[in-house]
Amino acid sequence: MIKKGDKLLFNYGCMIPTKTGTVRSIVPSKYSKGGAFAEVEINRETDDIGNSFAEITTADVGSIMKPGETSVNGSPIGVFLDV
């Protein structure tokens, strides 16, 4: 079960660097394969005058895999729990 504070690793493949983020919240949704989406903060920056900006993405809770797990076709691309 994914919970607030968990670290997720995003592997997009095709020479795109992996990204790591922290789950900020879990949002229930009937449109999700897993019944909810995880709101994930990837990056946070502050500008010269103190304004803070965050890069946020979502991940379907039903699509998050355990470390080392692969998709049905053996691809290592996807969203994983980061240990």
Position 83 pLDDT exceeds 80: no
The per-residue pLDDT for range 47-62, each reduced to its tens digit, is: 999 999 999 999 999 9
Distance CA 6, CA 50 (A): 27
Distance CA 61, CA 3 (A): 10
The per-residue pLDDT for range 69-82, each reduced to its tens digit, is: 888 888 889 999 98
By DSSP bridging, strand 19-28 and strand 64-65 are unpaired
Cβ of 79: how many Cβ atoms within 10 Å? 22
Q: CB pairs under 8 A, 24+ apart, for 49-56?
A: 56/24
